[in-house]
Amino acid sequence: MKKIDVLDKGYVRLVDVMGTDLSPVNAARVSYAKESKEFTEKDEKLLKFLAREGHTSPFRHAFMQFEVYAPLMVARQWWKYVVGSDHTMDSWNESSRRYITEEPEFYVPQADEWRSTPDNSKQGSGEPISIVHGTGFTDYLMASIEEAERAYKIALDAGICAEQARLFLPAYGMYVRWYWSTSLQGVCHFLSQRLEHDAQKEIQDYAKAVLELAKEQFPISLENLLK
C-alpha cells in the first residue's frame, strides 16, 4: 500500500485496512438488527450524528495497520497513545537492537531546521535560528553520531553482545521501525492532539502523513471525527 516519506529518512506506510466508512454505521445499527450493504445519504447522516454526539464505540470496529520509521523521540511520544489505550484498541510491535545489528540511521536537522527556545513556554520551540548557527549545530551533531557509530562497531567487533553495544548509540535521534495497529477512533485520537500547532513539529509531520493515508480509506469519518 501507499507510503509517505517524512523528515530526512523516515516514512509512514499503510500496511493493511479493515473496514470502510460503512463499518461504524453497521456497528451502530446492530442494536436494531439492521445492516446497510451500500453507503447511502442516510448512512452519512448517522455517521455524522455518531461523531457529533461523541458515540465513539462504533468507530472501534474499523482498523488500520501502519509501519512507521521515525526517530526515537517521535516514537516515544507516539507510544503514549498505546499505553492505557483500551478505549482505542491499539497494538505496537517495534524492532529491537537486542536482535538486529543493521546499520543505524539518525535524524539530522539541516542548517535551516534548528529552532530556538520559545519565549513563553517551558517546552516546545520558537523561531528558527540563523542558518549560520544552524550549520554549526548540524556539523556538531554529525560528528557526535560518527564518533558514537565508531564506538558501537568497535564493541560489536570485539564480541560485545548487540543488546549492550547499542548503549554507545545516541538514542533520541536514532531511527526505529514499528507496526502500529489501531482502530479508526485510535487514529483520530492521535491526530486530534498531534496535528495541533503546539505539538512538536517532527511528530506533526508524521501525523500529517497518517492523516493523508487514513483519509483515503475513511474520508467521511475523518472529516467528522476531527472537527
Strand ordering across the sheet containing 10-18: 3-6, 10-18, 63-71, 175-183, 91-94
pLDDT digits (tens, 9 = 90+) for 128-164: 899 999 999 999 999 999 999 999 999 999 999 988 9
pLDDT band at 85 (very low <50, low <70, confident <90, very high): low
pLDDT band at 125 (very low <50, low <70, confident <90, very high): confident
Assess contact for 199 and 207: CB atoms under 8 A: yes
CA distance 21 to 194: 23
Catalytic residue among 52, 60, 97, 194: 194
- Fold entry, domain 3-98+178-225: Gyrase A; domain 2 (3.30.1360)
CA distance 177 to 154: 24
Q: Which amino acid is at 170?
A: P
User: Residues of the chain with pLDDT > 70: what percent?
Assistant: 94
Of residues 30 and 211, the one with the higher pLDDT is 211
pLDDT digits (tens, 9 = 90+) for 60-74: 999 999 999 999 999
pLDDT band at 83 (very low <50, low <70, confident <90, very high): low
Per-domain boundaries in the chain: 3-98+178-225, 108-172
For the cut 70, the answer to whether the pLDDT of residue 223 exceeds it is yes
29 in active site: no
For cell 492523516, name the residue. 211
Q: Could you give the C-alpha distances from 22 to 35, 187, 217, in angstroms and in order? A: 9, 17, 11
